[in-house]
Structure 1
Amino acid sequence: MAVLSLVTIAFLSGNVARDLRLLNSASSDNVQWTLSQTEVEFLELEIAIENATRAAVPNLDDLRRDFDIFYSRMTTLQQASIYAPVRAIPEFSYNLKALRGFLDGCVDKIDADDPTLQAALPTLAQEAGKVRSNVRRLSTSGLSYFATESDMRRENVYITLLQMAIGVTLLIVALILFTVYLGYLNRQNVRRRQETIQASKRMNVVTSTALDAVIVCDIDGVILDFNVAAEQMFGYSAQHAIGGQLGELIVPDHHREAHEAGLARMRQGGEKRVVGKGRIKLEAKRASGEVFPVEFAVQSADTAEGEIFVSFLRDISHRVAAEKQLVEARDRALAGEKAKTDFLATMSHEIRTPLNGLLGNLSLLQDSHPSARQSRYIKNMETSGKLLMSHISDVLDITKYDAGKLKLRPVVMNLSSLLQDIVDNQSGAVAAHNTTLTWGWSGPVVEWIYADKERIQHILMNVIGNAVKFTRDGQISVQLEVVGDPNDAPDIQITISDTGIGMDESLQAQIFDDFMTGDSSYDRNVGGTGLGLGIAQRFVKALGGSIEVASEVGKGSTFGIRFPINPVKAATRNRRKTDRRAPAIRGSILLVEDNEINRVVAREMLTAMGHTVRVAHNGKIAVALAQDQRFDLIFMDISMPVMDGRTATRAIRASGGASAGAPIIALTANVMAEERQAFISDGMNAILTKPLSRDAMSDILADHLCSTTQHPSVKLALSDAIDPQHLRELRETLSPDAVRSVLDKFCAEVDEAIDFMQRLPDHSLDQIANKAHRVAGAAATIGAAKLRAGLIAVEVAAKRSDAEAASDAAARLPGIWAETRPLLISE
C-alpha cells in the first residue's frame, strides 16, 4: 500500500513539473505580446502610409521599414512552431492567409523606386484599410486561444496538485493504518511468544510426568531429550542418556543392524517405515540388558537444527503376559466346548441306541395283535420314549446353537401346509382344553418359500404348543402377514395370540430363558422342561429374525415372530415323489449294525416289508460281503468296532466290487450338520436317524429302491458320482419334462467339453480352464459331484500353467463320465 502511494505521488509530481514548465515556456516566448504587437505594427504601417501620402516630400524609408517589420511579424506567426496550434484555428488561419495575401501584393510596390512607390501610396492605403479587420481578428483569435490554453494549464496544475494532496492524505492514512497494524502484529507476536513459552513449559511438564517414555533424537540417532518415564523404564539417567546413541542404549542387539540401516536410509531421503505409522509392537533393552516388549510411536519434526524424531514408548510386558493367558484360557475354553460337544454327540448316540431298540420293539410288539390293555401300555411307553427323544434333541439343538455350529438346511416348502399340519397335530389337545385354534393370512398370501422347514416347524410347534398348554376354555389364533414387497426379500410376521393365563412382567423378561416353566396354577398338569421357547428363540435368531412377547395376567399372551423369507414358485413333484407311501421293490438288503437289539429290530422291520436281509456285525465284514454279493441297498451304522461305517463306505465305493454302486444309507444318532455333510462326502446317499421308525425306513426304501418292471435291466444305484440330494431337489422343483430337458442339455455339454479337453495341444490353457470352470458349475447344479471334482482338477492345473497335470486330469474325465452318465439317464 505504501509503495503504491509513493509511486502515485511521484507520478503526480512529474505532471505538476511538466505543467509548470509549459507555463514557463509560454511566458518566455512572449506569445501574447507578439500577437498584440501585430496589431500595433499594422497601425504603424497604416500611419506611415497615410503620412507619406499627405507629405509633399514623403519619407519612404520609414514606410519601407514599417512594412518590413510587419512582414517579419507575419512570417513569425506563419512559420514559428509555437504558433502551430494557433494556426490550426480556422479563424486565425483565414485571417493569416488574408494578411499574407496583402503583404505579398505589396512587396513589388514597396521594393520599387521611390516615384513608383509614391504613386502607389493611395493603392496601399486602400488595401491596408481592407485588411485592418483581418489584423484585428487575427490578434483577437490568437490571444483568445492562448488565454484559454493558459487557463487549461492552470486547471491541470490545480487538478494535479489536488490529486497529489489526496495521494499524500491517503499515504498518511495508510501509514497510520500500517502503524496500527504493526502494533497489532507486535502484540500478537508478544502474546504468541508468551504462549509458546507457556506451551513449552507445559510440554516439559507433560513429558517429565508422562507415564510413557518420551525420547527425542536427531537424524543421526543422538538422544536430545530423555524424560523421567524413560529413566524409569530403561534404567538410565537423563544426564547419561542425552548425547548418547539411541541404538546403543535401548535397541536390542538383534535389532541393531535394522535400526542403523533405517537411520541411514532416512539420512539419504529414503522411506520412513515406522515414522508416522501409529503404534508398533517391538522389543527394547534395559540398562540391565533385559529385553522386553514395548509399544511405540514415532513422529518427525523439522527444526532450525534439522529434523528430529520424537518417540513415545510404553512397556507392555504385563499386557503381553495377560494376552498370553487369555489365549491359553480361550484355547482351554474351546477345547472344553469341543469336549462338551463331543460328549453330547457320544451320549446322544449311546442314549439313542437303546431308545432305538425300545421303540423298535414296541413297534414290532404293536404288530403282534396285543389286547386293548396291552396296546394302551405299548402306546404309553412309545409316547414316553418319543418324549425322551425330544428332550435329547432339544439339548443337542441348544448345544449346537451355542457352539455356533447350527446349520440351516433350506428347502422349498409350503408355509400354509406346514401350519395346517401343526394345527391338525394340536387338535386333540385343543379339544381336550375346550379351546378353539384358528389360523389365516392377513394381506397377500405367500405360501411357497425357500427356508429351513425343520427349524420353522420346531419354532411354531413350541410356541403354538405352549399357547395350547396354558389356555383353557379360550381361543388361540395364528395370523401370517408378509411385511414388505413380496418380490423383494420380504419378512414374514407370524402372530400367535391366546386368551390363556398370561404372564406378569417378571416372567415375560425370563420366558425365553432355558428351563423356565412359568408360574401358573396348573403347571404340574402341563409339565415340560422349559426348553421349548429358548430353542424357539435360538432358531428364530438363526433364521435372521426376532421373537417378542406381550402378555397380561389373566388376559392371555401374544407372541410375535418375524424373520426374512425367500418366496419361490410353487414346487411341482413327479408322481413317484408325490406318492411317499408307494411300496418299494422287494430287494436284497445288507444291514450293518453292531448293536444286537438294533439289528433284531431293523431286520424284523425289513423282513416284515418283504425284503431279504443279510446282517454284518461291523464294517470289515460288510466290505467283504459287498465285494462278493450284489445288494440293492446297504444300511450302514456309523459307530462300530473293528471298522466304522464311514471307513467301510469309502472302502466299498473304492473296491469296484459287486455292490460298489449300491445306495448306502447311514444309520446314526449323531445329527450334527457337519457330520451329515461328511457322511455324504464319504459316499453315503442318505441318513436315517435313530431311533428307527417304520415310516422313515419306508420313505428311504421308496427313494432308493424302485420297480424294474419298466426297465428289464437292473437299475443303477446312485454312487458317490452323484449327490442324490441335488437330484431330489431338482425333481421336486421342476416338472419331469423339464428335468429330462436339463439332463439332456447337460449330457451334451459334458460330451462336447470332454472332447474339447482331449485335444489339449489345440487349445490354450486359459481356454481349457474356462471350459472346465463353466461345466463344473453345471455339474454342481446337477449334483454330479465326482465329475465336478474332476473338472475342478483340470481347471486348477490349467490356471497354474501345468500342462502335464491338466492333461492327466483331462484324461481321467472319460472314465468318470462313463460312471456318471448312466446314473443320470437311469434317473
Structure 2
Amino acid sequence: MFQSLRLRTWLLLLLTTGFTLVVCGLIYYRSAQSTIKASLLDNASLSVRTGSDSVAVRVDDLIRQAASLRDRIPFERGSEERFMTALQQEWLLQGTFRALGFSDREGRLRMTNGTAASIRNEPAFASALQGASVIRHAYQLEAFPDEDSAYILLPVYDRTRLVSGVLVASVPIGQIGGSLSQTVLRLSENERVPNEFALLDRTGNALYSTYTATRLTPEDNRTIVRALASRKETTIAREGSRLFASAVPGTEWSLVLVVPTDKLYKPLHQLLLRTIAICLAMELALAVLFLLLITPPFKRIREILKTTEAVAAGYFHAEPLKPGMNDEIGALASSVNGMVEQLRNLFEPLQAVTNQNDYGIIVTDRDYRITQFNDTAQRMLGYSADEVVGKMTPLHFSSMEELEAKAKRLSGKLGRTVRPGLEYFRAMLAGRMSYSEERIYIRKNREPIPVFLNVSKIVDKHGRVTGYVGLFRDITKQKEIQAELTRAKQSAEEANMAKSVFLARMSHEIRTPINGIVGLSQLLQRTELTEAQRDYLQKIVTSSEVLLGIVNDILDFSKIEAGKFELEQVAFEPEELFRKLGDTLSIFLSKKQLEMIFDVPDSLPQRLIGDPLRLEQILLNLANNAIKFTNRGHVHFRVRMPEASAGRVKLEFSVADTGIGISEEQMAHLFQPFSQADGSTSRKYGGTGLGLVIADELVSLMGGRLEAESEPGQGSRFFFSLSFPVATGEAAPRPAIPAGDVPRSSVLCIERPGLMQNTLRGMLASCNAEAVFADSWKSALALLGGPEAEKRFDFVICNMEMPDMYGEETWRKLQEAARPALTIAMTTPYGQSEWLRMEGSARPDRMLIKPVNRRALRNLIESIRQEREHGSPEAPRKAKKKSSRPDKPRILLAEDHTINQQVACELLHSRGYETGIASNGREALELLRRDHWDLVLMDLHMPEMDGIEASRAIRARRSGWQLPIVAMTANVIMEDRVKCLNAGMNDVVTKPIRADVLFEVVDRWLRHARQIDWEDALDRVNGKESILRHMLRTFGQEYDGFADVLRGKLEGGEGDAAAKLLHTLKGVAGNLSARAVFAAAESLEAAISAANGGLSTERWIVPFTRLEKALKELLTAIELEESRASALFLPTLDRF
C-alpha cells in the first residue's frame, strides 16, 4: 500500500499540514483562553461589586426613610408617650418597616407591635446615642429574636438637638437582599446565568442568600471575612466553584457571589470545540486539494518510469515522452529522451570503439575462459575471436617461463607455494580488485611481445565475482626507450667516473709536489738558517699550505655537489678536538694583534659520537675567517650545552669577531660558492670563497643549520647547533683535579679586563686554582712587590702581548719579583720561538700557546703539581720517555715519489728510526719477506701494486699486532679512510706530512705492537688466531677498571686480596704473552710480599703506577685493534 510514491507524498503533505494546523489552533486557543478567562473573571468581579453597591444603596434608602419618619414627629422631653402614639400612627400609614419602636436613653425599648425589651447593653444602641445611624441584623442584637429582620437604630433629638432617645425600625432582610436574585452573570454575548449571592455579617454568619447559596460552608464564610478585613474585594478558588466577595459600603456586611467552575469556563470549552472543528474542516479541504494537485505530476512520472524500464531492458527505440508543462518533470522527460538517444548513439558504436582502440581487451568468466576478444587483441596476438572465445584461457598466449619466475617470487613473498598458471592469476587478485604488471605474451607465430597488463574483477550487485577483464597494450617502443635511457645513464656514469678519476689524479698530481715542498721546507727549518732565510722559508710553507687548502676546498666542494660526501660516526673527545683546533689556530694568530678566546664549559661529556674531522674543519674554517677579517679586538669561540640527557647532548657553537663585518646585501650571497663579502676582499684577504659554502653544507649534513649575524664595522657572529650521541663504554680518564684531594693553588694572572679575563677566571676555577688578576704588567709588579708576596702565589700567568709589556727588561723585572713562584708565559707560536732563543735561566718556566684552552691549562697545572710532589723535572722525564723506546726501530716506507721519500726518511731519521724504501707495493712485499720491520708507512697510489692491494697481501700473513701499517694519503674523505681500514691498515696520516703528527702515530702503533709477543701467544693457542683474538676481547672487557679496584685494595691495606688479584692478572697476561703487564704485576706482587703486612703507600705506589700505565697501554691497544678490525673507528684526527 505504502509503496506508492503518490500516496506517501499525499500522506506526508497531510501530516505536515495537520501538524501545522494543530500548532496554529493550539496557539490560537491558548491566546484566546487567557483573554476570555480574564474577561469572565472581570465580569464576575463586576457582578459582586454591583450587588454590594445595590445592597448599600438599599440600606441608605431605608435609613433615609427611617430618618424622614423620625423628623416628622417632634420630640420633647417627658412626652415619650405622645411620641410613641405618633410613631404608631406613622407605622400604620407606611408599608416599608415591619415594626417601629422607641428607646429612651436608659435603653428601655417599646415596639409598635407591642413587644418591649432592654437594649441598654447593645453596642448598636450606644452608637445611636452617639448620633450614628446603625443597621444591624437580628443575629447581631441579643434583644431581638427575629432572625429574618434587620434593625435600623437612629438617634432622636429634642428641640435643643440633644439625643433624647433612639428610634428603632425593623425591616425584613428580604427587602435588602431581594433585588440580588434578579441579577445575572454574563458569560458571553448571548449567554447569561442567574447570580448566586450570600450576605454575610462581620463574623461570617449568612444574613441572606439566594436559593442555591447554601453550598457555602461556615469555613468558607470565615475565610471570606478574614480576606475582606484588609481589602474591599477578594476571589477564592475552590473545588468545583469560584467565590467572588465584596464588602458592602456603609455596613459591616459582605456580599459573596458563588459561581460554579463549569458555568464560569463554559465559553472556553465551546471555543475549544470550535477550534477543533475548524482545523478538521481545513485538513479535509487540504487533503482533497493536495490529491487533486499531485495526481497529474505523478501520472507523468509513471510514464517516465515505463520508458526507463524499457531502456533498462535494452529497448532503446521507445516512443519519446511528451514534456507537457515546462516544469521539472517536463525537464526530466526531456532529459530521459536525451538519455535514450545518447544511449542509443553510445551502444551502437560501442563495439566499434572497443575494437578500434590501442588496448587489447580480454573478458573471461570466473573460470578464466575467454568470453570477449576485441579486434586490437586479435591484431596484437594473431588469433581470431572464433579461435579464442569459449575455447581458450589467457594461459594459451602467456610465457610459461615468465609465469614460473613470477610464481616463484610471489611464493617467496606469500610464504606458500604458488604454481604458475591459473593459481598465479587467482593469487594476484586475492584481497584486491585489480593489479597491473608487465607481461610477455606469445603471438600465434610464437613471437614474444612485451605488454603492460591490467586485470580487474567483474563483480555483480551482490559482490560476487562473475568474471575478469584484462586490458593490455604493446610496450615494445617503451622498452626500446628505456634501453636507450639505460645506455645514456651508463654513459653519464662513465663520464662522471672519468671526471672523478680525473679529479683524483689531478689532486694527486697537484698535491704531490705541494707535499714535497712542504716536507722539504720542514726539513730545511730544522737546519741552521739566517733570520731572512727563516722568514722566506716560513712564507714558503704558509703559501704551500694555503695552496693545498684551496685544492682541498675545491675537491670537497666537487664531492658535495656530486652527493658523494659521507660523514663518519666515531667516538671522539671534544676537549682534545678543541685543543688541536687551538694549536692550528695559533699559527694564524702569530702576526695578529688580537685575542683568540676559547670559552668551553667544563661540563661537556668526555666522549661523543660523530665526525670529529669534519667538525674541526667547520670550526677551523669559521675561526680562520674570523681571524682573517679581524685586525684588532678579539675572536670569541664559544661552546654551550643547552640540552643534555643520558644518551645525547646538543651543543651550540659560535664564532664571533670584531672584524670588518658584513652588510645585509652581502649577507644574501654569503653562502654562495666562490663569493666573499665583496670583490675586493678576495684581493685583500685571499681565499676562494668556498670555505663558508663547505662549512654550511657540512653543518647541514650533520643535521644543523649555519647562521650568521653581522653589522658592518662592528664584527660578525657565525653559530650553529648540533646533536651528538654520548659515547658509552671505556673512555680515557679525564685528568680531574678534585678539590678535596689536591691543595688549592694561588695564581696571579696578567690579563686585561674583558672576555679573556672572564674566560681565564672560569678555566682556573675548574682547575682548583684561586686567581688574582692584574690588569697590566705594572699592576702585577706592584702586587708582587707587596708584603707577603713570596708566599701568596704559586705561579704567575703572563700575557706576553700586553700593551705595557716592553720586552726583555720588563720580563726580567717580573721574573725577579715573582720568585719563587713559577712563571707561565701565554704567547703566540711566533713569540714562543723568540722566547726560546733566550738563555735557559731567562726563559719562562712554562709556556701556554695561544689560544689557551681548558685542557692545555689543566694539563699544565697538573704537571706542575706532580713535579712539585714527586720532584721529577721535565728534562729527565723526556729523557726517560725517549729511552723507553727500543733502539733503532725499523720502519719500511712504501712511497714512489722521490721527494716524499726524502722528507719522510729525514723526519724518521731525526727521531732515531732506521728506514727502508720501497717504490711500490711489490717491492714492499719483497722487503718484508727478506727482513724484519717494526712498522710500514704505506702510500696509497703507487705503480705496479698500490697500497690497498699491498696491505691486503700483508694482512693475509701478518696481523695488526705483528706489523702495524699506517697509510699516507692526501685524500681525507671518509670513503678513502674506510678503504684503508678495510684493507687492514691500522691508521691514516694525511699529506703533507707534519712531523708532530707522524711521530705521534708511529710511536703509538709501535707501542701497540710491543704490547703482545704475537708469535709466542699464537703458539700458546696452537696457531688459532680467532681464539687469541677472542681472548684479547675478553681481557679488554674483564680488566676495564681493574686498576681502580686494585688501588682500592692497596689503599685499604688489603694486601692479601691485592696479591690474589695480581696473581690472577699475571696468569692471564702470561697466557697472552703481554710481557710488560706481566713484569709490572710481578714487580708489584713482590713489593707487597716484601712489606710483611706493613703496606704503606711508599712501598707500592711506584710499582703500581708502572702496572697501571702498562695495563692502560694494553687495554688501549686492544681497543684500537678491535676498532681497526671493524673498520668503524678512525683514531687519528689529522689536520687539513
Question: Is the TM-score greater than 0.5?
Answer: yes
Asked whether the equivalents of residues 594 and 617 of structure 1 are also in contact (C-alpha less than 8 Å), the reply is yes
Secondary structure of 1:493 counterpart: strand
Asked whether the equivalents of residues 627 and 655 of structure 1 are also in contact (C-alpha less than 8 Å), the reply is no
> How big is each residue's C-alpha offset from its partner over 1:617-673, in whole Å with a ceiling of 9 and x where there is no partner?
44444334333432333333343345444444455555679x993333333334453
1:387 CA drift (Å): 1.6
Question: What is the CA–CA distance in structure 2 between the aligned matches of 1:351 and 1:689, rounded to whole Å?
Answer: 15
**Is 1:368 aligned with 2:515?**
no
Asked whether the equivalents of residues 591 and 599 of structure 1 are also in contact (C-alpha less than 8 Å), the reply is no
Asked whether the equivalents of residues 891 and 913 of structure 2 are also in contact (C-alpha less than 8 Å), the reply is no
Asked whether the equivalents of residues 221 and 263 of structure 1 are also in contact (C-alpha less than 8 Å), the reply is no
Secondary structure of 2:615 counterpart: helix
Q: Percent identity?
A: 28
Asked whether the equivalents of residues 359 and 382 of structure 1 are also in contact (C-alpha less than 8 Å), the reply is yes
Secondary structure of 1:705 counterpart: helix
Q: 2:1043 aligns with which of 721, 724, 737?
A: 737
Q: Which residue of 2 aligns with 1:216?
A: 363
RMSD of the alignment, in Å? 5.8
Decide which moves more: 191-200 or 348-357: 191-200
Decide whether aligned partners of structure 1 residues 250 and 453 sit closer, same or farther in structure 2, where only a CA change above 3 A counts.
same
Secondary structure of 1:363 counterpart: helix
Q: Which residue of 2 aligns with 1:440?
A: 599
Q: 2:931 aligns with which of 616, 624, 629?
A: 629
Q: 2:540 aligns with which of 378, 381, 385?
A: 381
Question: What is the CA–CA distance in structure 2 between the aligned matches of 1:262 and 1:705, rounded to whole Å?
Answer: 64
Question: What is the CA–CA distance in structure 2 between the aligned matches of 1:748 and 1:449, rounded to whole Å?
Answer: 32
Decide whether aligned partners of structure 1 residues 458 and 219 sit closer, same or farther in structure 2, where only a CA change above 3 A counts.
same
Q: Which amino acid aligns with 2:364?
A: C
Q: Which residue of 2 aligns with 1:539?
A: 698
Query: What are the residue-to-residue correspondences of 1:596-675 with 2, within 5 Å?
Result: 596-652=898-954, 661-675=962-976
Decide whether aligned partners of structure 1 residues 255 and 616 sit closer, same or farther in structure 2, where only a CA change above 3 A counts.
closer
Asked whether the equivalents of residues 948 and 983 of structure 2 are also in contact (C-alpha less than 8 Å), the reply is yes
Question: What is the CA–CA distance in structure 2 between the aligned matches of 1:670 and 1:395, rounded to whole Å?
Answer: 12
Q: 1:464 aligns with which of 602, 623, 635?
A: 623
**Is 1:572 aligned with 2:572?**
no
- Structure 1 gaps of 5+ residues are 3-175, 753-777, 790-827
> How big is each residue's C-alpha offset from its partner over 1:291-333, in whole Å with a ceiling of 9 and x where there is no partner?
4322111122256998221122233334333332333333333
Q: Which amino acid aligns with 1:615?
A: I
Secondary structure of 2:725 counterpart: coil
Q: Which residue of 2 aligns with 1:491?
A: 650
Question: What is the CA–CA distance in structure 2 between the aligned matches of 1:492 and 1:425, rounded to whole Å?
Answer: 22
1:553 CA drift (Å): 5.7
Decide whether aligned partners of structure 1 residues 229 and 515 sit closer, same or farther in structure 2, where only a CA change above 3 A counts.
farther
Secondary structure of 1:565 counterpart: strand
Asked whether the equivalents of residues 337 and 403 of structure 1 are also in contact (C-alpha less than 8 Å), the reply is no
Asked whether the equivalents of residues 503 and 553 of structure 1 are also in contact (C-alpha less than 8 Å), the reply is yes
**Is 1:315 aligned with 2:482?**
no
1:783 CA drift (Å): 6.2
Query: What are the residue-to-residue correspondences of 1:189-588 with 2, within 5 Å?
Result: 212-219=359-366, 224-225=371-372, 247=394, 265=422, 276-284=433-441, 291-302=448-459, 307-403=466-562, 405-416=564-575, 418-419=577-578, 422=581, 425-426=584-585, 437-438=596-597, 440=599, 445-446=604-605, 448-471=607-630, 473=632, 476-498=635-657, 500-503=659-662, 507-519=666-678, 521-550=680-709, 557-568=716-727, 571-572=732-733, 582-583=881-882, 584-588=885-889
Asked whether the equivalents of residues 383 and 444 of structure 2 are also in contact (C-alpha less than 8 Å), the reply is yes
Question: What is the CA–CA distance in structure 2 between the aligned matches of 1:249 and 1:679, rounded to whole Å?
Answer: 57
Decide whether aligned partners of structure 1 residues 214 and 549 sit closer, same or farther in structure 2, where only a CA change above 3 A counts.
farther
Q: Which amino acid aligns with 1:697?
A: L
Q: 2:897 aligns with which of 568, 588, 595?
A: 595
- Structure 2 gaps of 5+ residues are 3-290, 315-338, 407-417, 737-858, 864-876, 1047-1060, 1073-1114, 1127-1136
Aligned residues: 577
1:379 CA drift (Å): 0.7
> How big is each residue's C-alpha offset from its partner over 1:700-752, in whole Å with a ceiling of 9 and x where there is no partner?
232133599999999999x99899xx99xx89x96683799999899979999
Decide whether aligned partners of structure 1 residues 742 and 311 sit closer, same or farther in structure 2, where only a CA change above 3 A counts.
farther
Greater C-alpha radius of gyration: 2
Question: What is the CA–CA distance in structure 1 between the aligned matches of 2:465 and 2:997, rounded to whole Å?
Answer: 85
- TM-score using structure 1 length: 0.56
Higher fraction of helix? 1
Question: What is the CA–CA distance in structure 2 between the aligned matches of 1:636 and 1:568, rounded to whole Å?
Answer: 31
Secondary structure of 1:666 counterpart: strand
Question: What is the CA–CA distance in structure 2 between the aligned matches of 1:451 and 1:705, rounded to whole Å?
Answer: 27
Question: What is the CA–CA distance in structure 2 between the aligned matches of 1:255 and 1:362, rounded to whole Å?
Answer: 69
Q: 1:685 aligns with which of 982, 986, 999?
A: 986
Question: What is the CA–CA distance in structure 2 between the aligned matches of 1:454 and 1:736, rounded to whole Å?
Answer: 32
> How big is each residue's C-alpha offset from its partner over 1:209-255, in whole Å with a ceiling of 9 and x where there is no partner?
97654442335666555668768867899999877857599757988
Q: Which amino acid aligns with 2:733?
A: T
Question: What is the CA–CA distance in structure 1 between the aligned matches of 2:1063 and 2:675, rounded to whole Å?
Answer: 53
**Is 1:702 aligned with 2:1003?**
yes
Q: Which has the higher contact order (CA 8 A, sep 6+)?
A: 1
Q: Which amino acid aligns with 1:298?
A: V
Asked whether the equivalents of residues 497 and 559 of structure 1 are also in contact (C-alpha less than 8 Å), the reply is yes
Q: Which residue of 1 aligns with 2:817?
A: none
Asked whether the equivalents of residues 627 and 660 of structure 1 are also in contact (C-alpha less than 8 Å), the reply is no
Q: Which amino acid aligns with 1:362?
A: S
Question: What is the CA–CA distance in structure 2 between the aligned matches of 1:487 and 1:190, rounded to whole Å?
Answer: 79
Query: What are the residue-to-residue correspondences of 1:811-826 with 2, within 5 Å?
Result: none
Q: Which amino acid aligns with 1:218?
A: D
Higher fraction of strand? 2
> How big is each residue's C-alpha offset from its partner over 1:93-140, in whole Å with a ceiling of 9 and x where there is no partner?
xxxxxxxxxxxxxxxxxxxxxxxxxxxxxxxxxxxxxxxxxxxxxxxx
Decide whether aligned partners of structure 1 residues 523 and 369 sit closer, same or farther in structure 2, where only a CA change above 3 A counts.
same
Question: What is the CA–CA distance in structure 2 between the aligned matches of 1:193 and 1:743, rounded to whole Å?
Answer: 107
Asked whether the equivalents of residues 599 and 637 of structure 2 are also in contact (C-alpha less than 8 Å), the reply is yes
Secondary structure of 2:435 counterpart: coil
